[in-house]
Amino acid sequence: MRTAWEMSSVRLDSSGGSLSQRESGRHMYTTKIGHAHLKVRDLDRSIVFYTRFLALRETERVANHYAFLTSGDLHHEIALQQVGPDAPAPPQGGTGLYHVAFEAPTRRAFAEAYAALTQAGISVAPVDHRISWAMYFDDPDGNGLEIYWDTRAEPDGATLWHGVNRPLPSADILAALEA
């Protein structure tokens, strides 16, 4: 039996057979990511974390329930919702959101973010994907985050990922701070 979502994504082709929108490659509308909504245990602690380490600024707060943060002209790219100190952590290995990614505009900005996180004692996993340098870490509530620098136009960059994950030594990252 098909779910409602599966049924809504099926349409008929001109011969009366079914052809999914995905197969046809055509859509009646376009979308773009507007924001990520994250549940947190302590709203104040999370606001400090996201403003300090991701250079976001608070644009609105609704009591002690919600905060909205942005890095630019949008009202918000991140919505934080306080769910209380006893809320369970996100399940490891389960389905759901893996991480929210933030782009650093330059190699130096990437290195500055890496230095700030590691100097604060936050565990960071850096990876060279060839299309990007990436660092993965968690917010105080276990929500996965990534900061990346797009390296596709760099001499050692690649146009497609192809599943490549190479080590990214700290010395290579921090060399940008010496330039």
Q: What is the pLDDT of residues 23-52, one digit of tens each?
A: 556 778 888 899 999 999 999 999 999 999
| pLDDT bracket for residue 5 (50, 70, 90) | very low
CA 161 to chain CA centroid, Å, is 17
* Predicted TM-score of the model (pTM): 0.83
Tell me the C-alpha distance between 114 and 145, whole Å: 13
- The yes-or-no verdict on residue 153 having pLDDT over 50 is yes
Tell me the C-alpha distance between 59 and 67, whole Å: 8
| pLDDT bracket for residue 61 (50, 70, 90) | very high
Question: How many CB atoms lie under 10 A from the CB of residue 67?
Answer: 25
Domains and CATH numbers, the chain: 33-85 (3.10.180.10), 97-179 (3.10.180.10)
Helix (H, G, I), strand (E, B) or coil at 84: coil
Identify which has the larger pLDDT, 32 or 70: 70
Q: Which tokens in the block code for residue 16?
A: 């009366």
Q: Residue 178 carries which DSSP code?
A: T
Q: What is the pLDDT of residues 121-152, one digit of tens each?
A: 999 999 999 999 999 999 999 999 999 999 99
Q: Which of 13-17, 30-34, 46-50, 115-119 has the lowest mean pLDDT?
A: 13-17
C-alpha separations of 88 from 39, 63, 69, 96, 139 in Å: 10, 22, 23, 14, 14
- The yes-or-no verdict on residue 1 having pLDDT over 60 is no
Q: What is the pLDDT of residues 75-105, one digit of tens each?
A: 999 999 999 999 998 888 888 889 999 999 9
